[in-house]
Structure 1
Amino acid sequence: MHRNSSELLELDIDTLFEERSIAEIVEIGKLLDAEIERKRSELRSMVGDRYKDVLAASDAIISMKTISQEIVTNIDKITNICEALVSNTLASDPEDSLEVDKNKFEDRTLAVQIRLAIFINEQIWIALDEENNLEAAQCYLLAQHIYTGLSLLKKEVLDRIPLLQQIKHNLVVLRSKVLEKIKEKLESVEITAQETSENLNALILLENQSCDDLLSIFIKHRQTALITVINSSYSSVRIQVSSMVRCLITTIQLLHNCFICTEKGNKGLIWQQLSDIVADSAPHTLSKLELPVTQLTSYIPEIIKQFRPKCRSLENSDSSLKNAKEVLENWLKTTQKTIIDGLEKSLKLITNIRGLHLVREECLKIGLPDNWEQICAETYLNENFNVWYYFFQNLISARCRELISMKVSNIIDEVQKHISDTLENIRVSDKSEADLRWYAWNEDGNDVSKNDNSHLGLTMKIKGYSQNIVELCNKVDKRYLKLLEDVSPYLYGKEFSDDIKFSVVFKDYKFKRKHVDKDEIEYHLRVECTSRSTQIADFIKDIALKGAEDLVVKAIFCARFLQAVSILCPNFNKCCTFNNTSDDWLKICDMFNKSSHILWQYWVKNTVSRTEKEVDKLNNISPKYMIKILSRWDEIEIQEETEEKIFKSHIKVPLKPSLVLSDLLEMLINNLNFILAHTLPKPIHLQYIEQNMSVILGQYKKMQDKDLSQTQALQFLFDVKYLTTLCVPRENIQLINCSQEICDKFRSRVDPFDLDVFYSYLQNNVKRAVIQSQMTMGCLIPSFNQLASLGLPEKSKEQEKIPSILAVTSSSSLSWFPLLPVTVPSQKTPGGVPALKKDVKESNQKSSKASKRGNDPASVMRQSAASLFGGLATDWFS
């Protein structure tokens, strides 16, 4: 009966006994036993393959344990036998011991020296394990002394000691091991003066170094310790730099305590310890060891018992350190270079100035020894020598300047990006920057602050700074605010605020010492912000004038932005005005204003080009067209008295400029209204007026050569004189002369007799028209004293600088133009004609009637209103 393993494993015992016979059950049992044995064999094979090494190691460990136990047992037996032999020998009769022959004594002396050499070998290893290198060095010298004594024995004796070569080999290994441990200890970052002195003395004993050589070796190992600090891994640069500072402070302190003699005449710790080792009164080296309890110690030769190391450095210690100052100066230079090279990459990891402040704070918290001043004085260092300021401050200051340059450069890049994005947005916006009436004259609930007296939105509207400009300036100013917030803790030790003051802190010596580079960093920040600001102006001029599309709109926006920076960027101002020196900021504002004026000139050119197109309408002098453009003339009655009678006649002279000229002036006024005339810079405003007036006068100059009638000549003469009186600056001699030439040409086209009669009335009407139109044409008046020749008061230069939207913002007596310049025909004007007698009689009658009703207040009010609106109906619109 054959069954596979799966069937055997799935057997049901109860069913098996019910269905099978006993013979079959016995057969199935045998099959189960065979299957179990096969599984065991497979398991052993698997464990042997997978864990073969583990099993072998286990067997080896068990074998080693057994062998080591046997070795220990045998050593104990040998020790007991040797002690028993020694005891039996010493217990014998003294007379017998005295009779011991010389050969046996020599043998025992030789044996004890070999045993002592082995014992000292073990003591050296123990001392090295305990990091007691000075004791290991003394033991090595004693072992070397013992070996030297043994090596001087006779050849036949040496041949009986094969162990001597092994002792020699062990000494060579131990010497290199002790020197290696000394080097490791001296290069430790944290080490005490006691440990340093012990290891240097161990080096003196082994190498017999001179004082100068020992100082150079010490400096060399401390430089290696510094390099170890630099190359170690740290969680932050702050911890790395503070570790370096601690290492250097430790080096200076160790140098003083171990080498330098104090004022009281005490020697350095090295010489004190060395004296306790090699002086004549110092204990012998063998007496410092705990020898095993044995009677063989009595056979140790006296030359070994009395061994004490010798050193020539102790004898010359008084005259040592002659070159200490030179060695120290070389150390300072070498260390400085090491720190510069070592921190170059680490300082790159500090990406903000606040991080440098934290590094400095951490390092200045490191405590100095109480006698630090004495240490500096006695180690040839400068008074109040400070590791931080000597080795690290210049590096931190250089990194601070580098970060400031990087941050200012990043600010310029971000500002340029913001400008580009804003120009792109205004290009696709339906609210043009070239026509701000939608913004300036639209009331908004945010125009006036409800909490304080600041007129935020209204102030911006008055200045002509749209929301795009305000937002752009805010973005720019926030970048400079972040720079100030970053640099403030480093410069002043506190967070930045608008009302930050440091007048008291600056008198503190500790503050000046701590912030020793404050003036230097402030100067660098001011220079960087000032010099890099030219990039903003250059970029704006390039991007504003790039491409013909929306050139004027971009030029106007950029011009306003440059004007707004000086007002809306206070933090930018603070970055350029440290120590109350505002010269750099004034230079920046002046540069921005000049760049703004250059951009405004493109707007001026654009308006002049439109004026050149519109002024062509003056070329049409046909009678049909002239009827359309000529306004109503003034009809004047003149009288001439002779001996016989009075002759009366009527003449007509122009009363107002032609409609074409009025349309041109209205177009110029609209151009100014689009960009808010009161926000236009004064030089650009004057340039706008002069260039447009030059174009208009140039067109009139072309017309003077045409075949003009007397009526046309009088009207054009009136237009030119009106234009010159109202808009042409007195200081522009070229335009004044041009106007004079044009007027002379037009006067030549009028009959001399008529001109003599008409000219005074024409001039009077010109003045009257100018006075009447100064309200509506006020933004075309080049200066406040332009109309002074008409008898109007002038404004002072200080008042001229005050911007105002309406004339009522200033005193009425000093305004550009009166609020309601109503003129009465009977009023005398410069160069005018006496009023007619009829008008005088009518006015007297009216006044007499008014006096009769003077007691009635209601009648007075009605009379005043009637006179006002009557004047408006007759004179203002005449």
Structure 2
Amino acid sequence: MTASLLNLNVDTLFEQNNVSEIDAVHKKIQTVVENKREELRTQVGERYRDLLKAADTIAAMQTSAGTLIEQVHHVQENCRKLNEQQLLGFKDTLSPPAQNTILEGHGTRSKNKKLQNYYSCMVQIKLLTSLPELIWTHIDNEHFYAATELFIFSRHISTGLQLDGQSELMQKLPVAAKQWEILRPFHLTIKQAIMSVLERETINSDVAVDCLQSLLLLDKCDLVSAIKTFLHLRATAFLNSLESKTGKEPRRVKERILASLGILNDTIELIEKCLLENGGLLFSRIKDCNSSAWTPSINRMESSERQLAYLLPDIIANFKPQFDDPKLEVHQMSAALQQFLDKIDSLASKQLEQIFALVSNMQTIQDIKSTASATQERLNFNHLEQYWNLKASQLDFYGMKYTPLIHKRIREIIRNSWSLAMTKTYEKVLQQVETGQLPVAEQIWREQSEDLPLSLAAALNDQPKRLANRTKGYDSSTIDVCKQFDSYLADIVKEMNVLLQEQTTKSEDKLELIQFLRETAQEQITQYLGRLKSLKLKERRTLLQALSNTLALVELCPNLKLCFCPPSSWRQWSANSMGLEHWPRLCGLIEDEMFQFWLLVIDNVLSANSCKDKMPKAMNHEVVLRDFPLWQSQTLEQRDEDDPAERVQSTIRIPIQPRLSLQTYLHDLIHSLNQAVPQTLPPKVLQAFNQKLLSELLSHYESLSTSDCAKSSQNISLQLYFDLKFLERLFGITREERSLYDRFHSLQLSLKDCIDPFDFELFAEHISTHVARSSNRLHGEFGVLTPNSVQNQKNSIISPSNSSSLAHEADPNVLCLSSSGSTSLWFPLLPIVVPPQGLTAPTMAAERKTELMESEKTTPTRKTATTTRKSEGTNKSKSSAASFFGMSQEWFRSS
């Protein structure tokens, strides 16, 4: 815009544009002019402000310079007066002739003196010109005391030449002043080189003493100040060693930690070698420098310069630096060391802890401990702590600062590894709960080629055992979750082995580490269970998936048990019984929490298959005809009271099996249970399921017993009584289950009251026989609901209340296919719960009645054939089991 206005042609503007356009251009030009004026005012104002500031500064400098000149004039005047006072009494009082004679001799001597002064000045200037290169050579070779001595020597020469600066000769040789300007920066250069060396990770005692001597000579400071500077630089070296890069390439964490520890230990060693008054290397060096046998500084020059030493005045030729007598009080050294230790504590609490946070595995920690322990064996600073009145073990940097950080990092690694393992496992379980599908019974029990181990050793060592996992409902996804979780724990156990095998670790520290691993494992498992409970699962599928994955952790993760029960290689540092009570406690905790999930599952199954909906709610003749099975007719013979020779026969009818509706309900319930939970129910869950089921059945029978039809009909009461006796025997109700036992017997007594006492006395023995026979026959069909040990060879009843865990009880006639931890899960006999195709429960019951009636007429030949078939079936099963496990048939017990 501005460029276009500057190039504007006025004549063309008036020829090609109208008045309004010309007016607009005029306004634009005025606007630009005003902007330029404002910009010019701003620039002038800023420059004017700077000029005022510069003028004030010049005025202040002029005042200061005037004051300084005035003071210099005063100094010159005082020096002149002092010189005149010193020459009083030495003024020449001879006669003019004698004075002329003396002046002639004095002129000759004056001429020789001028020539000698000339050569002396030339040699001194020659020395000044040679000193920079020589000083640089000593600096490069890290001979700092030699470089410092030469610098002090150059300053001494320059000072003498400057004092004679008003002479005619020095006026003609300005090179002397210029050469000092070249030498002056060596004060800072030497000091910076000394500090750079003292900040290195490793320095020897000779270099340290050389640096301390140079500091004392350069700054003319006392020994305490030099020691504080030395300790400050070593603290800086400690901080620099923790950096990731000390050169061109980055350093590993282990190297940085060991380097920092080495700096601290080396610092104390240097103090011990150099600063102890009795035999300290620094004190002996200073004593040698102050002795008369120490050579002058001119001897450090090259041979060509040393040959001209006779031309130099004695004050320069014999010059050598002198040290004040060094004094180091105990309290001064203690204060300096305490300040150093406090600074190291501050740095360690911030920087060193951050470095240890980068250590990711136990092998690195073991390497650090091994190397550090080997170094600590040769160190013993107890006498230094007593000498300088320090606290006990305050100089043990490894024990006081590094060991706590190592232990802390070990615990962090264990906790982080456990947290990662538990988080990954929880995420997998949550994913399966949200999207996974539970396997159905056909998928779990489908035969696969991998089910058959090749030998007994393979069967015992196979993890996971496939058939045992099927009994518990562990599908391939659950096994994968446990496998991944166990791999994480295997890494933790492996790292623990690395630490526990480290010889330098104390036994009590190893014991604390084992206890920490157990506490961390318990804490993480508890948090995992809490997170599962917080999901508040309600659906049957999600509940089963969650509890299946959780219970599998105990069964399929052997390394989890190692966290609570230390292996034999760990027990040398702990009691042999350590952890024996913690593992059952954890298993009990998991089982208790999962038992609550099981209760929700069985409540869901029972609510979906309620006996109130599946069984008749009232008794009438139609229900009796449809629901009651065929009764057995029993003929009784007894003597006639009137004629003893005559025998009276009477026929009674006795129920031989429970109601068909009860059998159908139990069959449907088992079918629904198998669809919902294809695996075997643990005894504790089965006990809870049976208690809830029996409570509902008892409530149902209580309502039937109070009906008028049951009270008015003896046969109905007798059938209901038979059903209750059947349920009591089938489910193994004993006196230990007091509530159910009392309810059964009170209900049986109420039904017994509805039966004629004389008739009941005749029925009682036969009913007991039929109840036993019926329960034995239906035990296989209803075996899913009955306890595993409900019947032994004598048909004795064992209460399921003896089972106090979710583990399967031991059965001596069944092979143990899985054993882990506190739970020894046994593979129970699988009952046949699916009827043949095309048969219903009533049809099956009718067939069983027919078979029962025919069995009473069975000939001995049939019994023999039955026995033979039974023997063949038994031998066949033994043969199959023997081939399955690679054992001989003699191993199995005879049935």
TM-score by length of structure 1 reads: 0.69
Q: Quote how far apart the aligned CAs of 1:702 are.
A: 1.2
Trace 1:318-717 onto structure 2 (pairs within 5 A): 320-360=329-369, 388-424=398-434, 426-427=436-437, 431-432=439-440, 436=441, 438-440=443-445, 442-450=446-454, 453-455=457-459, 456-492=465-501, 510-512=503-505, 517-543=509-535, 545-546=536-537, 551-578=539-566, 579=570, 581-582=578-579, 583-613=581-611, 616-638=614-636, 639-644=638-643, 645-670=646-671, 679-708=680-709, 709-717=713-721
Asked if 2 retains the 8 angstrom alpha-carbon contact of 1:477 and 1:572, the reply is yes
The range that moved more, 151-160 or 201-210, is 151-160
Verify: 1:140 aligned to 2:151, yes or no.
yes
Asked if 1 retains the 8 angstrom alpha-carbon contact of 2:199 and 2:236, the reply is yes
Trace 1:192-207 onto structure 2 (pairs within 5 A): 192-207=204-219
Match of 2:751 among 746, 751, 760: 746
Relative to 1, partners in 2 of residues 1:657 and 1:151: Cα closer, same or farther, differing over 3 Å? same
Relative to 1, partners in 2 of residues 1:370 and 1:221: Cα closer, same or farther, differing over 3 Å? closer
| Distance in 1 (alpha carbons) for counterparts of 2:768 and 2:510 | 70
Q: Quote how far apart the aligned CAs of 1:105 are.
A: 0.8
Q: Quote how far apart the aligned CAs of 1:609 are.
A: 1.4
| Distance in 2 (alpha carbons) for counterparts of 1:661 and 1:574 | 49
Aligned-partner residue type, residue 406 of structure 1: N
2:253 corresponds in structure 1 to 237
Verify: 1:732 aligned to 2:737, yes or no.
yes
Asked if 2 retains the 8 angstrom alpha-carbon contact of 1:418 and 1:472, the reply is yes
1:864 corresponds in structure 2 to 864
Q: Quote how far apart the aligned CAs of 1:205 are.
A: 2.0
| Distance in 1 (alpha carbons) for counterparts of 2:780 and 2:196 | 95
2:774 corresponds in structure 1 to 769
Asked if 2 retains the 8 angstrom alpha-carbon contact of 1:714 and 1:746, the reply is yes
| Distance in 2 (alpha carbons) for counterparts of 1:287 and 1:212 | 31
Counterpart of 2:658 in 1: which secondary structure? coil
2:220 corresponds in structure 1 to 208
Aligned-partner residue type, residue 241 of structure 1: I
Q: Quote how far apart the aligned CAs of 1:596 are.
A: 1.7
Counterpart of 1:572 in 2: which secondary structure? helix
Asked if 2 retains the 8 angstrom alpha-carbon contact of 1:238 and 1:362, the reply is no
| Distance in 1 (alpha carbons) for counterparts of 2:515 and 2:656 | 65
Q: Quote how far apart the aligned CAs of 1:691 are.
A: 0.7
Trace 1:144-155 onto structure 2 (pairs within 5 A): 144-150=155-161
Aligned-partner residue type, residue 306 of structure 1: N
Counterpart of 2:320 in 1: which secondary structure? coil
| Distance in 2 (alpha carbons) for counterparts of 1:107 and 1:368 | 69
Relative to 1, partners in 2 of residues 1:421 and 1:286: Cα closer, same or farther, differing over 3 Å? same
| Distance in 2 (alpha carbons) for counterparts of 1:238 and 1:679 | 53
Verify: 1:253 aligned to 2:257, yes or no.
no
Counterpart of 1:650 in 2: which secondary structure? strand
Aligned-partner residue type, residue 143 of structure 1: S
Q: Can you list the C-alpha shifts for 1:406-434, whole angstroms capped at 9, x where unaligned? A: 2222212210122133335642x6x32xx
| Distance in 2 (alpha carbons) for counterparts of 1:664 and 1:423 | 31
| Distance in 1 (alpha carbons) for counterparts of 2:662 and 2:236 | 91
The range that moved more, 407-416 or 160-169, is 160-169
| Distance in 1 (alpha carbons) for counterparts of 2:813 and 2:618 | 38
Verify: 1:313 aligned to 2:325, yes or no.
yes
2:36 corresponds in structure 1 to none
Structure 1 unmatched ranges of 5 or more: 1-95, 494-509, 811-815, 820-841, 851-860, 871-878
| Distance in 2 (alpha carbons) for counterparts of 1:635 and 1:326 | 112
The range that moved more, 412-421 or 376-385, is 376-385
Relative to 1, partners in 2 of residues 1:777 and 1:661: Cα closer, same or farther, differing over 3 Å? same
1:829 corresponds in structure 2 to none
Trace 1:92-111 onto structure 2 (pairs within 5 A): 100-102=108-110, 104-106=112-114, 108-109=116-117
| Distance in 2 (alpha carbons) for counterparts of 1:384 and 1:451 | 63
Count of paired positions: 701
Trace 1:838-849 onto structure 2 (pairs within 5 A): none
Question: Which of the pair has the greater relative contact order for Cα pairs under 8 Å at 6+ separation?
Answer: 2
Asked if 1 retains the 8 angstrom alpha-carbon contact of 2:418 and 2:521, the reply is yes
Aligned-partner residue type, residue 133 of structure 1: F
Q: Quote how far apart the aligned CAs of 1:365 are.
A: 7.0
Asked if 2 retains the 8 angstrom alpha-carbon contact of 1:541 and 1:599, the reply is no
The range that moved more, 580-589 or 764-773, is 764-773
| Distance in 2 (alpha carbons) for counterparts of 1:370 and 1:479 | 40
2:138 corresponds in structure 1 to 130
Relative to 1, partners in 2 of residues 1:808 and 1:279: Cα closer, same or farther, differing over 3 Å? closer
Match of 1:268 among 280, 301, 304: 280
Asked if 2 retains the 8 angstrom alpha-carbon contact of 1:636 and 1:652, the reply is yes
Counterpart of 1:619 in 2: which secondary structure? coil
The range that moved more, 780-789 or 457-466, is 780-789
Relative to 1, partners in 2 of residues 1:463 and 1:486: Cα closer, same or farther, differing over 3 Å? same
Q: Can you list the C-alpha shifts for 1:749-801, whole angstroms capped at 9, x where unaligned? A: 44455445545544454344345544544554458578999767999979999
Structure 2 unmatched ranges of 5 or more: 1-103, 460-464, 572-577, 817-827, 832-855, 871-895
Verify: 1:290 aligned to 2:278, yes or no.
no
Q: Can you list the C-alpha shifts for 1:603-626, whole angstroms capped at 9, x where unaligned? A: 210232134256542224232231
Trace 1:801-840 onto structure 2 (pairs within 5 A): 803=809
| Distance in 1 (alpha carbons) for counterparts of 2:869 and 2:619 | 37
Match of 1:119 among 111, 115, 127: 127
| Distance in 1 (alpha carbons) for counterparts of 2:618 and 2:683 | 35
Aligned-partner residue type, residue 492 of structure 2: L
TM-score by length of structure 2 reads: 0.68
Counterpart of 2:458 in 1: which secondary structure? coil
Aligned-partner residue type, residue 195 of structure 1: V
| Distance in 2 (alpha carbons) for counterparts of 1:272 and 1:309 | 16
Relative to 1, partners in 2 of residues 1:654 and 1:458: Cα closer, same or farther, differing over 3 Å? same
RMSD: 4.4
Asked if 2 retains the 8 angstrom alpha-carbon contact of 1:109 and 1:301, the reply is no
| Distance in 1 (alpha carbons) for counterparts of 2:131 and 2:476 | 87
| Distance in 1 (alpha carbons) for counterparts of 2:602 and 2:305 | 115
| Distance in 2 (alpha carbons) for counterparts of 1:402 and 1:866 | 69
Relative to 1, partners in 2 of residues 1:704 and 1:104: Cα closer, same or farther, differing over 3 Å? same
Asked if 2 retains the 8 angstrom alpha-carbon contact of 1:133 and 1:182, the reply is yes
Aligned-partner residue type, residue 742 of structure 2: N
Q: Can you list the C-alpha shifts for 1:235-268, whole angstroms capped at 9, x where unaligned? A: 422332333334334323322222225xxx5x22
Aligned-partner residue type, residue 505 of structure 2: K
Asked if 1 retains the 8 angstrom alpha-carbon contact of 2:787 and 2:800, the reply is no
| Distance in 2 (alpha carbons) for counterparts of 1:531 and 1:741 | 49
Q: Can you list the C-alpha shifts for 1:95-150, whole angstroms capped at 9, x where unaligned? A: x9998423541563365146415514632552234313212322233334344545
Q: Quote how far apart the aligned CAs of 1:602 are.
A: 1.8
Q: Can you list the C-alpha shifts for 1:477-503, whole angstroms capped at 9, x where unaligned? A: 11212333345434435xxxxxxxxxx
Q: Can you list the C-alpha shifts for 1:375-395, whole angstroms capped at 9, x where unaligned? A: 999888978976544443333
| Distance in 2 (alpha carbons) for counterparts of 1:649 and 1:388 | 102
Counterpart of 2:708 in 1: which secondary structure? coil
Relative to 1, partners in 2 of residues 1:704 and 1:649: Cα closer, same or farther, differing over 3 Å? same
